[in-house]
A and B are shown apart, each in its own frame.
Chain A
Amino acid sequence: MVDLLIEFLSNTGFALAGYQNIIMILVGIVLIYLGIAKRYEPLLLVPIGFGILMGNIPVIRDFGLGIYEKGSFLNYMYFGVMHDIYPPLIFLGVGALTDFSAMLARPSLMLLGAAAQVGIFVTFLGALALGFAPNEAASIGIIGGADGPTAIFLTAVLAPRLIGPIAIAAYSYMALVPVIQPPIMRLLTSRKERLIRMEEPREVSKKEKLIFPIVGFLLCCFIAPGALPLLGMLFFGNLLKESIVAERLARAARSSIIDTVTILLGIAVGASTQGDVFLTAKSIGIFTLGASAFAVATAAGVIFAKFMNLFLRQKINPLIGAAGVSAVPNSARVVQIVGQKEDPTNFLLMHAMAPNISGVIGSAIAAAILWSFLGG
């Protein structure tokens, strides 16, 4: 009886826990706190934070409980991450939620979405310089796209072992957009520039909105076929939304499907951060590079907006360049907040949505390019 009790006690989490598990459980609690108390991306941080708790409960090996053990419940959930199933489904929901009117009304603002992707490639160079292998460097660089699903999509094919830290870095920094971006935006713009008012965008017809997802999908996927799963689902979701006749499917895509997949993705990614796998020097490097990727992407967007102003008669407010990092719609909201601090009657949100959405498309294209360069 005593032997049984001793055996039971030796199999409990208290006996099996290492310091890495304790650290990661604390990280999970911090993410849950940020999500609930500070309202930083609660729909992402709460599932990820709880997933970290689930993944860091020490369990006996070969008991079929750990995320990396075949046949376990968590392993089945992780299957969707490793086989790039969740990111396209999230894009389906994003497409069904997004109104592309702002971008269709002023397509030139799409260039800001392209400019912000410079962050991806600069970080890629930085990661190479720090000694990461090219496929790992590309996966780290994509954090600069500020798009969690795209980061997971690329990492799953190029550097599957880094999915945990890269996904956590991408989603954490997306949640911290309101903290990271404003100082960079203020640093790179003068007060006069932040006060620029932009002209009202033209009205976009229903037919335009209906044609766009088809034209956009065909063009983007002919240019970068690797983006097919992501952009295919994004534009399909948008077509469902705009067609009206498939409203039931659009409603499912933007509510039950995206919510279910977000739960599965959050828990799976969180649980993949087991202390012994996650707490490495590489993870620290990934987090450092991820932060710089966000900063560079933001700066590139703002600087390119200023560059465009050299040639434009109707000036654009350079703050909207910061929305070129995807993080829909957080970075557009940040632009609105920073702009309204200078002039409370200046509404930039609608204008910022154009680079914001084109940033989503741009980061998916960038991921496809990196995949085609390094995937073979």
Chain B
Amino acid sequence: MYGLDAISAHNGWQLAALGTSIVFTGLIILSLAISQIHKVLELWDKRDSYYQRIKKLVQRKHRSEATVSDPVLPKNVEGSVRQFKLLIEQIGEPFPLPKLLDFSEKCGFPHSHSSVNDLLQAKLIIPDGKGYFLWNHEVEKNIKI
């Protein structure tokens, strides 16, 4: 058998088309792979600086998370949070700030002005917008003492 009949009879067209495609695919994959080698090596060589950068990013993220959602009170105020909470429950909400200071001094709380200032900064005591103040129960739930 000769000519086109012979090619068709032996699946010549399919073999040639498939063979050419596989050769092309193989070399394309290889060329793609080797075109990335120097980029991967560059990453590897600079791994220390990338590590440092990632480390800094993570630290920054932790710090911002801590300030936003996990407010941490100064250690000297930690103990007074419960005392002030009980005191405010006695006074009743909303309360005027001078009254809270007055009561806290009468009860013998140490450094009451400074402690109230810390509670204000930690947003545990918040203004109600009418000249009075409230105990912030939401912040108290998230607080790490």
Contact = CB atoms under 8 A, between A and B. Distances in A.
Interface of A: 103-104, 107-108, 110-111, 113-115, 117-118, 120-122, 124-125, 128-131, 134, 137, 204-205, 207-208, 211-212, 215-216, 219-220, 223-224, 358, 361-362, 365-366, 369-370, 373-374
Contacts of B7: 125, 128-129
Given A128-B10, A215-B33, 14 more contacts: A104-B34, A107-B30, A108-B35, A110-B28, A118-B20, A121-B20, A125-B12, A128-B6, A129-B7, A207-B41, A358-B31, A362-B27, A365-B22, A369-B23
B32 A124 contact: no
A211 B3 contact: no
Binding site secondary structure of chain A: helix
A362 B23 contact: yes
A33 to B, nearest CB: 36
A243 B141 CA distance: 63
A238 to B, nearest CB: 13
B16 A121 contact: yes
Nearest to B40: A211
Interface in B1-34: 1-4, 6-7, 10, 12-13, 15-16, 18-20, 22-34
A211 B41 contact: yes
B1 A131 contact: yes
Contact of B24 (A103, A114, A130, A224): A114
Q: Which 7 A-B pairs have the closest CB atoms?
A: A107-B31, A121-B16, A114-B27, A110-B31, A107-B35, A223-B26, A128-B12
B38 interface: yes
Contact of B30 (A110, A121, A137): A110
Given A129-B7, A207-B41, A223-B29, A215 B34 contact: yes
Contacts of A115: 24
Contacts of A114: 23-24, 26-28
